[in-house]
A and B are shown apart, each in its own frame.
Chain A
Amino acid sequence: MKTIQLGLIDYLILSVYFLFVLGIGWVLKRYMRTSTDFFLSGRAIPAWIAGLAFISANLGAQEVMGMAANGAKYGIMTSHFYWVGAIPAMVFVGVFMMPFYYGSKARSVPEYLKLRFDEKTRGFNAISFATMTVFSSGISMFALAKLFEALLGWNFHFSIFISAVIVLFYIFLGGLTSAIYNEVLQFFLIVLGFLPLTLLGLKGIGGWDGLVGKLNIVATSPANSAGKAFASGTWTESWSHLGTAASNPMGVEWFGLVMGLGFVLSFGYWCTDFLVVQRAMAANSMSAARRTPLIASLPKMVFPALVILPGMIAIALHFQSSDGFLPLANPSNPAEGLDYNMAVPYMLKNFFPSGVLGLGLTALMASFMSGMAGNVTAFNTVWTYDIYQSYIRPGQSDTHYLWMGRITTVWGIGLSVAAAYFARNFNNIMDVLQLVFSYVNAPLFATFLLGMFWRRATGHGAFFGLLAGTLACMLHHGLTIPHGATSPVKGGWLGATLHEYYSEMALNFYGAIYAWTTCFVTTIVVSLATKRNKSADELRGLVYSLTPRIKEPGLRWYKQPAMLGVIVLAAAVVLNVIFW
């Protein structure tokens, strides 16, 4: 793919966006007086803003480029990340878990673990989470730089530098509020910047029917992403080909998908990841905090049209062209073969004339920044409250911690830049992210589930459960390999290979299942063998059976979390059936 020459109008649009993003940070600067303002937006954010920020913080590189890549690679099965994975988990966190997060007044997810369990569990989570956010934000930055290099011919190092400096500027000045405001702005920009791509793409390929026709050719050709022919319809039917791992390109069957992705990984991410939970914690009331993930789930449900469909259209269009797979190849190294992360750039180049092209590129830039900013704000909060204030220098003035938060924004971004260079070694970003998440997040959901709904769970139980779960995940990764693995990073680094999975995705899903189960069982066994370390009084507001039910009389039906949850779940079921 040749690089695109941007016109003046495209650069103007990009500059206007930069001005607004920086301007928001500048305006909010004078409202940052205490550390609560900086790290928690003073708990004053209305539900709809928190909700859109919740979704936008997740809408980073892995979403836009990774999901389009998956759309091209696996077809409509990618929608399982949404309609099986994200949606039920988002409903669960809003309806069942938020009362404990928000009600406990914890300032971070690790801090909740300290209140509920003990210091070591918090420390373990704080450190592993901090590591994870640095990697995520590094991957975001890497994706941006790589894309702009391929698409526009921009210097890789320059792109890293410019995105890091802008995010640094607006978070340094305006803290979480600035990140949240920008995330709302970025949300609308991403939707309005990518929507024309889907619309033009669908029109260009002859509507949904035209797309199905073309994708059937992809599915039945041995030249597709999995390198073998499947039944026709494999790319456009989400459930019909999940009977066995051999019958679909994702290389996973329904059990691994529903349990690994749907239950463990998605619940682990949406219910325990401070990156998203922080947005809900900043909401201005309990009811707003509970509605935050539910409001977020509404746009999330239709995002497949925005991020997966362009990938599917890209591969469909591409397959008909006479020059094989070349347009999707990495321009800097064509010998590498097909680079699915190029699906979005390919579509942008194909359908957008100068003008809208600038808008589309700005939307891409916005998605990278929102993902990165989400990680940076979560990182500086966890570092300052859960590591620095707890272990390094407790008992300092609030001004001191506010200052620490600002400084951490600087070196946290510095670490992310380092992680970005590390990420240059990988092919499909999503697989790497899943790998990192499966180490950290998968066992965590078992800990929270037991912590919130079983009052007998103890601090020792939680800590050793988490440790065992993480070790189980690493052990699984070290002893199994995905089909066609070429580097030890993909698995099997312990030498002996006990099992070969059809794909990296399948390996990650099963690793998550093993991690969750190990953590769940270990926590129960150790809890029963150790004494309770918190009295019933200390656990009030932290555990389901010891917390008074929330009654919200007078709240309109569409503002009641349970009612919203039911509506969202019903809609997700309908979508699954439509694309079955």
Chain B
Amino acid sequence: MHVDVRIPIGLMFSVFGVMLAGFGLLSASDEAMYSHSLGINVNLWWGLLLLVFGALMLWLAWRAKKQEKPPLP
């Protein structure tokens, strides 16, 4: 394939992960807001999960690229 689709996916979810987790940390004291999500800081935890998923995708793409390199002449 021209471009490994895992790269944009990995990048996007990493960005989402950082944004959500960061926002979760900043807003951790806002109990009124998190009463929606049953008192769970869903931004922080789901953000971390997205970050892990994004990193995993990037790692898979990186590994595939490494394997693809033609053997030395």
Contact = CB atoms under 8 A, between A and B. Distances in A.
Interface residues of B, number: 29
Interface in A1-60: 9, 12-13, 16-17, 20, 23-24, 27-28, 31, 44-46, 49
A359 B38 CA distance: 18
A200 B15 CA distance: 23
Contact of B23 (A20, A27, A46, A355): A355
**Counting chain B CB atoms within 10 Å of each CB, which of A45, A350, A353, A356 scores highest?**
A353
A353 B36 contact: yes
A575 to B, nearest CB: 25
B13 A181 contact: no
25 contacts: A9-B19, A9-B20, A9-B23, A16-B15, A28-B3, A31-B2, A45-B1, A177-B2, A181-B3, A184-B9, A185-B8, A185-B12, A188-B9, A196-B37, A352-B37, A353-B33, A353-B36, A353-B37, A353-B42, A354-B33, A355-B23, A356-B20, A356-B43, A359-B16, A359-B46
Contacts of A356: 20, 37, 42-43, 46
Given A355-B23, A356-B20, A184 B46 contact: no
A13 B19 contact: yes
Contact of B38 (A9, A27, A44, A200): A200
Interface string B1-28: 1110100110111011001100110010
What is the size category of the interface that chain A forms with chain B? 20 to 34
A188 B42 CA distance: 18
Contacts of B11: 20
**Counting chain A CB atoms within 10 Å of each CB, which of B13, B23, B33, B40 scores highest?**
B23
Contacts of A44: 1
Nearest to B12: A20
A382 B38 CA distance: 49
Contacts of B53: 188, 192
Contact of B20 (A49, A203, A355): A355
A16 B5 contact: no
A352 B20 contact: no
A204 interface: yes
B19 A16 contact: yes
Contacts of B40: 200
Contacts of B43: 353, 355-356
Nearest to A20: B12
Given A27-B3, A353-B34, A196 B46 contact: yes
A351 interface: yes
B58 interface: no
A353 B49 CA distance: 17
Contacts of B2: 28, 31, 177
B48 interface: no
Contacts of B16: 13, 16, 359
B20 A16 contact: no
A178 to B, nearest CB: 10
Contacts of A46: 1
A422 B16 CA distance: 36
Contacts of A359: 16, 20, 46
A181 to B, nearest CB: 5
Contacts of B42: 196, 200, 352-353, 355-356
Contacts of B50: 192
